[in-house]
Every structure is written in C-alpha cells, then in structure tokens.
C-alpha cells in the first residue's frame, strides 16, 4: 500500500457522525468503514484486528525486541457532519505550481486566501472538487498509520509492542466515550489528527456545549399587545448579552470564544446550540458563567421566565496530564528531527480524542497529518507530507524513550 492510494480508498466511504443520534457509533457508515479497515489490517499482517460492537477498531503489532514500553497510534473514522461527505470526488494536483486551484460552486484554493499553499509548490495535492469536504480529517491519519504499520511488519527491525486504534464519533466529542484504555494496553499514544507537517500538540481547548431553549407564546398579531412572547426576539437578546468579539471569526492562538453553532425556532420555541472554548481554565469557567448570567437576567426581565440553559463539559486541556510525561513529546520531536522535519508546538484550537484519553490514564498528544482547511469544501491534503508523517510514525516506534 501507499498513503495516496489508501487515502483515496478511505474517502470513498461516507462516515460523517451525527450529534443528534443516541447510538454509538452515531451513523452506520462508520461501522462499514471500520469493517473495511479491519480487512486492510488483516491483509498487512495485523492478525488480531477487530471491530467491536461500538464501532471501535483495535489491533496490535507484536514486539520484535523485548522493550518495556508500548506505543500507540490513534485516528478517528468519522468526518464532520456539517458539510457533505457523500460522493467525494477528489482532485489530484501533481507538481503543484503555486497558482489558484479552481473548484466548483465558484470556490477556489488560492495562495492569497490560504498562504500555506505557497509552501506546497512542487508537491502533490489532493483537493475536493468544491461540492463536499475531502475527509482528510482524519482519513489521512488512518492511511498514515496503516502504511506505517505495514512497513514496520515488513522491515522486521527491533521495536517494542505497537497498538493501533481507530475511533468513531470524534467529531461530536464522543470518540473516547467507549475507548478500552485498559485493553489497549499502552504506556502512551499519539493521535494522528490534523495539521500541517511538523505540528506536535499537547495543549487544547477546555470545551463545553450549551443548549439554550426559549419558550414563547403565540397570539394573533392583531391582539398581541401585552400578551405575545416572541421566543426569537428573546433569543436575539440572549446573543446580544454575550461578548461580541469573543467569537471564532475574531479570535486566534490562545483566545477563547463562545460560538453559536445552530439556531432554529419560531414564535413559541427557539433552540440555540453553542460551543464554549478556552485554553485557560479560569477564563473557560468565566465564559460559562456569562451564559448563566445571561439566562438569569432574561428570566428576571420576562415574567414568563422563558430561558432554559443546559451546560455540559465536553473535554479538558490535556496539558496538565502531558507535562508529567514530557518524554512522550521528546520522543516525537526526535522522530521528526530524524526525518528532517522541524517540530512546531502550537495550541490546538479544538480538541482530539487524546484530550479525553489523557484524563483516562493514557498520555496522548497529537501529531500532524499533512492536511489543511478541515471541515470545509476547500480542504486538501499534501501527499508528500503524508508520506513523511508515515516515516515519522515508524521512527517514533524505533526510539526507546
């Protein structure tokens, strides 16, 4: 196998997750993809590969050298559900020349809008056609892990035990929900889940979701004075009470935000779904308290007490769990340097399965996949970088921490 052909095979399997579902995995396509991955794992010699009832895929490569440590690699099978991942039609751009890449629907990939494209001249890119996302988040990670595994088995060099896992429902914050940490049996692991070549991350957002439900009362508009309660108007009031600059489109680096992710409603009922993010725990709690204060204010203002707020913590910043195990970071830095790649440590403006797994006793920072513009129709991956990341994974296996 090579990462390019395997990646193209994987993206042909639709596997978007669904936040509204009450089952695991949240969509049947993830189990279909999982079964395909198990088949591939067995083909390359991972004899114990299996898909469990919750849609998790596990397998292992036995040690060829009696070392004490066991290393793991994890990627997720689902794709973001907010943009279509059906009938993906990848475009392959050989020897990219640095110009704009036209996509359907009037879109394009231009170096002016996406400066990282300027670093890819001469490389092979795989892009969308502009009608769907690509699925590089995280099928690029799956491809890199599987090809690295195949080469490890073929090369027969001395290494410790290697564990591999692929999770469902990461995009909806549930990828670690039923992960068998004990059965996985690793000292440490890495998620291979997004970012440009060289990215090595062990800080992520603290995260929460918020559902705001607002009840109204419909009365004929001709006789509505003093009686009608418009839930949509109160919803706009609620949003107006939140900090207007603390939104994703105005923040970067370590700046947190409150993001209105979905809204639907009419006069009698409006429901808003928010996500709350901050790297700093105190600022994170402050943002949640702002949500509570807005709800309390509107319930005091309106006699019908129309606002119901449900807050739910999703994941925490893994940094405090990784700091006592910095040898995990040093191992990956060494693996990158040995492959001519300069490690770049950045705060993740999002989360990974590794954030929750680190709090479940498995130190699990994140490494790059060679992808960009995830969750959108302008997503692309860099094949040359994917090959390099595959080699970095192999090198990390051979290093004794």
Asked if residue 326 has pLDDT above 80, the reply is yes
Indicate the average pLDDT of the chain.
Answer: 95
Asked if residue 400 has pLDDT above 80, the reply is no
Asked if residue 1 has pLDDT above 90, the reply is no
Q: Which of 169, 170, 203, 379 is catalytic?
A: 170
> Residue 358 has what pLDDT?
95
pLDDT tens for residues 22-40? 999 999 999 999 999 999 9
Whether 9 sits among the annotated catalytic residues: the reply is no
Return the number of other C-beta atoms located less than 10 Å from residue 293's C-beta: 12
Max intra-chain CA distance, the chain: 82
Please report which confidence band the pLDDT of residue 149 belongs to, taking 50, 70 and 90 as the band edges: very high
> Residue 243 has what pLDDT?
96
Mean pLDDT of 182-187: 96
Asked if residue 124 has pLDDT above 90, the reply is yes
Mean pLDDT of 12-18: 97
> Residue 259 has what pLDDT?
97
> Residue 348 has what pLDDT?
87
* Domains defined along the chain, listed by start: 3-204+317-398 (3.40.630.10), 206-314 (3.30.70.360)
Q: Which of 78, 138, 187, 353 is catalytic?
A: 78
In terms of phi and psi (left: phi > 0; alpha: psi -120 to 50; beta: otherwise), the region of 216 is: beta
pLDDT tens for residues 247-275? 999 999 999 999 999 999 999 999 999 99
Return the number of other C-beta atoms located less than 10 Å from residue 387's C-beta: 17
> Residue 173 has what pLDDT?
86
Asked if residue 68 has pLDDT above 80, the reply is no
pLDDT tens for residues 288-317? 999 999 999 999 999 999 999 999 998 899
Query: Percent of the chain having pLDDT more than 70?
Result: 100
> Residue 315 has what pLDDT?
87
> Residue 69 has what pLDDT?
86
Mean pLDDT of 127-154: 97
pLDDT tens for residues 335-353? 999 999 999 998 888 888 9
Mean pLDDT of 71-85: 96
The model's pTM: 0.87
> Residue 66 has what pLDDT?
79
* Alpha-carbon span 147 to 21, nearest angstrom: 32
Query: Percent of the chain having pLDDT more than 90?
Result: 93
Whether 78 sits among the annotated catalytic residues: the reply is yes
């Amino acid at each position: 196998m090579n990462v390019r052909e395997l990646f193209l095979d994987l993206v042909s399997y639709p596997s978007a997750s669904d936040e509204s579902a009450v089952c695991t995995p949240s969509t049947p396509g993830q189990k279909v993809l999982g079964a395909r991955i198990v088949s591939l794992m067995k083909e390359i010699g991972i004899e114990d590969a299996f898909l469990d009832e919750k849609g998790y895929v596990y397998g292992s490569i036995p040690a060829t050298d009696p070392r004490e440590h066991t290393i793991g690699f994890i990627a997720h099978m689902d794709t973001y559900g907010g943009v279509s991942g059906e009938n993906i039609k990848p475009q392959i751009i050989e020897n990219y020349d640095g110009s704009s890449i036209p996509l359907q629907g009037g879109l394009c990939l231009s170096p002016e809008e996406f400066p990282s494209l300027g670093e890819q001249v001469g490389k092979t890119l795989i892009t969308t056609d502009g009608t769907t996302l690509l699925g590089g988040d995280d099928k690029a990670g799956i491809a890199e892990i599987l090809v690295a595994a195949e080469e490890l088995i073929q090369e027969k060099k001395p290494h410790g035990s290697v564990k591999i896992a692929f999770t469902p429902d990461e995009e909806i914050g549930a990828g670690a929900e039923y992960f068998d940490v004990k059965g996985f049996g690793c000292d440490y692991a890495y998620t291979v889940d997004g970012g440009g070549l060289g990215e090595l991350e062990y800080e992520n957002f603290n995260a929460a979701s918020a559902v705001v439900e607002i009840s109204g009362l419909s009365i004929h508009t001709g006789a509505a004075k003093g009686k009608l309660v418009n839930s949509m108007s109160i919803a706009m009031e609620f949003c107006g009470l939140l900090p207007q600059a603390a939104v994703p489109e105005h923040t970067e680096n370590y700046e947190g935000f409150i993001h209105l992710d979905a809204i639907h409603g009419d006069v009698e009922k409006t429901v808003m779904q928010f996500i709350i993010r901050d790297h700093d725990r105190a600022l994170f709690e402050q943002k949640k308290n702002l949500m509570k204060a807005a709800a309390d204010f509107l319930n005091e203002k309106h006699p019908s007490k129309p606002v119901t707020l449900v807050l739910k913590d999703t994941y925490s910043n893994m940094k405090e769990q990784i700091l006592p195990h910095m040898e995990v970071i040093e191992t990956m830095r060494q693996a990158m340097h040995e492959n001519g790649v300069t490690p770049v440590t950045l705060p993740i403006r999002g989360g990974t399965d590794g954030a929750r797994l680190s709090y479940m006793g498995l130190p699990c920072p994140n490494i790059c996949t060679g992808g960009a513009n995830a969750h959108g129709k302008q997503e692309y991956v860099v094949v040359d970088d994917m090959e390099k990341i595959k080699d970095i994974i192999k090198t990390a296996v051979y290093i004794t921490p």
